[in-house]
Structure 1
């Protein structure tokens, strides 16, 4: 249960251990957050949940999900302002709860980010092929084409990240700007076709689902429900997954100018903006077409076709492709920084913590992450495992919320650039909200997650426990020097 001293964690920024170059400013962090939070799901999740779970009440679901994620975001903001390092929740847990728990959180983050990159790359390829076909071009051997596109996008974006944070940041600014223009067009054109009658009273009578219970909560109550207040809260759980990603902003703290102040502002502002954008698209989606006529597969595109604006389908395609491209890019950045921190602490091979002298980035670990993402996306049915991404994220959320409460008691002397208001009440509410989201995940997801964590604990006992820097106090803090070093 050895814990990393706060001075060791924060020493990363003062030269006590090797650190990354500062490249991000407050506006960059907002773009980073929007890059990962707003993907292709913005064009589908509102319609999908309205048609199958919440009806017009999906608007309330977006508000509830936004509040739940904001609570978690506030907790991340306090801890990242106190320990502005690239490890994010992994390093926070190392300092507050100890090495074993830090490894568990790091292992959960590996699951979240590595699987997410593979899942989104596979979805990106499918959407790209669909966009080509919408222009009237027939794509022969579509599955083979998708496999090639997955390889191309992952190799390209891994290369962008490996070449340096500044290169990735410029590309991110361009793609996020274009993506927001597409979303703006959807909102502006869609507003002109809203029929207020489609909103109803936001409440649809509840109904029992005929299918067998799938989530932990449904198993507990013995049956599943849709619509009504239960449906609204169930949809909020699904919608909250769309907001997930603001936590990746915290992994950029070590590379941010004036991080104790800038990172909390960047996270909170990006989440608030993403929530407003999602709400605007949801209002347009539900207002254009009655929820009973929404196609769960292509909700927004179908809605524009229904009101006779077919050309908007191409705008949606472009926005979706750009949206997923930025998501993949930011996921690779976040995963690189987490593994870099774990390697620097010795819990995984320390050679992965070397920084390229030429590009000033952890190039080795970036290339490893890109290779693993390619293997997963090409050879594993990752689209059936999307909830594994979510459970890894929520697991980290729970530890961060608890960490705020514990750190206030154990380390009140630490300087904080941001403090969660009304603590410990708001962190406790964040913990409750996170647990609520977790029980709305499938039982099968929990089973796979338990197996993954058991395997991770075995890896720690075999390797991490013995190679940890805290287990070898005489080991120099910096990784071995070499030609790849800065």
Structure 2
């Protein structure tokens, strides 16, 4: 049992023990991290999630749902900020857990992150293809064999973005700046034009009397207290759980720590600022959408576009299409970057084949693992019904959130003298609140999602016992990192 629970010493979490800890070039500055966060947090959902939840679950109270979800995610973000400032490494929650709780728990978190990021890339790529086909049709162009076209578009976007990430962080960063700037312009147009058509009467008092909810999928919470209600306070909190999915992504900023200048201070600022900016943008779009049309008249399929059509501003539909396509493009790009860095860290620790930790001499990126991730994403998106499994992305993320929140509390007790570039205020109260909020979001997920997640974890533990436990670098005698003939660490 002691071998399974062996912990990575804090000094080695960002040291040169593996010969690769600092082999990734520093390319990110604080503003880049904000763009990275906005790139993954603001996708096509910004144009739909407020309308969907208002129409089916929360009514005008969806505005309160956005605030509740934002607060819950901010608590988690603060916890990530402290641990990232202490251990600025590309492993993020995986490495934090390795140091604080031990190897087997680190593997479990790493396995959950693989589920989150790999499935997310496939899900978003499939959604991107569908939205792109829809955008083309809105211009009056008929798309024959739409399903085949979508399959081709999925392949195109994943090959293109995998190639961009493989060519280097600087290339991906330039592309990200251009696309994020363009989609923010589209969102700005939505807000500015939409405000002119807001009717304050549509907001009511933000509260709609509760109604029985008989058709919702069974959640863990519903198993114990019975299926809840639409609207009312229960509906507002239920919508907050769904909306939290929109904010998820700030944690991926932590995976860039090893490539960030002055990471102990820059990464916490980048994560917190990007989440705050994203929350404000989501709230602004939600206010405009709810203000433009009564929640009872909002279309669930295309809520924002429908609202603009209702006020006879049809040309905004094309702006929304462009924003949605760009939004999902940046989400896929950042997801591939995040997944690459997590697997890279696990590989150089020996828990998965170390060959995946090879850094290209030409491009200075973990090209090999990037190509593997891109290939797996293509297979999932093309051959697995990933759009029916979106909640697996959420549960993998929330599972990591829970360990990070607990990790702040435990690390403060076990390692109080470690240097921290950022400290969660009011600890252990705020980390404990973060843990409670995360668990609340998790019990609002479907029972079927939990079942699939449990199976994934059991499979992961088998992989660890068969391979990771024996090949871990901590299972070997300590040796200096290999060097190539010119005296530099082998990359």
Cα distance change, pair 318–8 in 1 and its aligned pair in 2 (3 A):
same
Secondary structure of 2:15 counterpart: helix
Shift of the alpha carbon at 1:470? 0.2
Cα distance change, pair 14–173 in 1 and its aligned pair in 2 (3 A):
farther
Asked whether the 8 Å contact 1:213–1:219 carries over to 2, the reply is no
Shift of the alpha carbon at 1:485? 5.4
Shift of the alpha carbon at 1:210? 2.0
Shift of the alpha carbon at 1:311? 0.2
TM value normalised by structure 2 = 0.97
Asked whether the 8 Å contact 2:36–2:176 carries over to 1, the reply is yes
* Equivalences for residues 56-75 of structure 1 within 5 A: 56-75=60-79
Among candidates 200, 218, 222, match of residue 218 of structure 1: 222
- Identify the range of structure 1 (223-232 vs 260-269) with the bigger mean alpha-carbon deviation: 223-232
1-side partners of 2:139 and 2:485: how far apart? Answer: 54
Cα distance change, pair 292–468 in 1 and its aligned pair in 2 (3 A):
same
CA deviations over 1:103-128 (Å, ceiling 9, x no partner): 00000000000000000000000000
Shift of the alpha carbon at 1:160? 0.0
1-side partners of 2:12 and 2:488: how far apart? Answer: 26
Among candidates 147, 172, 181, match of residue 185 of structure 2: 181
Asked whether the 8 Å contact 1:12–1:19 carries over to 2, the reply is no
Shift of the alpha carbon at 1:473? 2.1
2-side partners of 1:315 and 1:204: how far apart? Answer: 31
- Identify the range of structure 1 (435-444 vs 223-232) with the bigger mean alpha-carbon deviation: 223-232
Shift of the alpha carbon at 1:395? 0.1
Cα distance change, pair 197–259 in 1 and its aligned pair in 2 (3 A):
same
Cα distance change, pair 480–158 in 1 and its aligned pair in 2 (3 A):
farther
1-side partners of 2:20 and 2:116: how far apart? Answer: 30
Asked whether the 8 Å contact 1:80–1:253 carries over to 2, the reply is yes
TM value normalised by structure 1 = 0.98
Shift of the alpha carbon at 1:13? 10
Asked whether the 8 Å contact 2:19–2:482 carries over to 1, the reply is no
2-side partners of 1:154 and 1:484: how far apart? Answer: 32
Q: What runs of 5+ residues in structure 2 fail to find an aligned partner?
A: none
Shift of the alpha carbon at 1:478? 7.5
Alignment of 1:438 onto 2:442: yes
Secondary structure of 1:12 counterpart: coil
Asked whether the 8 Å contact 1:213–1:222 carries over to 2, the reply is no
CA deviations over 1:426-459 (Å, ceiling 9, x no partner): 0000000000000000000000000000000000
Asked whether the 8 Å contact 1:26–1:266 carries over to 2, the reply is yes
Asked whether the 8 Å contact 2:194–2:288 carries over to 1, the reply is yes
Cα distance change, pair 4–481 in 1 and its aligned pair in 2 (3 A):
farther
Cα distance change, pair 49–355 in 1 and its aligned pair in 2 (3 A):
same
Asked whether the 8 Å contact 1:147–1:378 carries over to 2, the reply is yes
CA deviations over 1:10-48 (Å, ceiling 9, x no partner): 215997845311000000000000000000000000000
Alignment length, in residue pairs? 486
Asked whether the 8 Å contact 1:186–1:281 carries over to 2, the reply is yes
2-side partners of 1:255 and 1:74: how far apart? Answer: 20
CA deviations over 1:140-165 (Å, ceiling 9, x no partner): 00000000000000000000000000
1-side partners of 2:484 and 2:131: how far apart? Answer: 42
Shift of the alpha carbon at 1:241? 0.7
RMSD: 1.8
CA deviations over 1:170-229 (Å, ceiling 9, x no partner): 000000000000000000000000000000000000011122651111111122311000
Alignment of 1:478 onto 2:463: no
Asked whether the 8 Å contact 1:34–1:270 carries over to 2, the reply is yes
Q: Which residue number in structure 2 is paired with residue 50 of structure 1?
A: 54
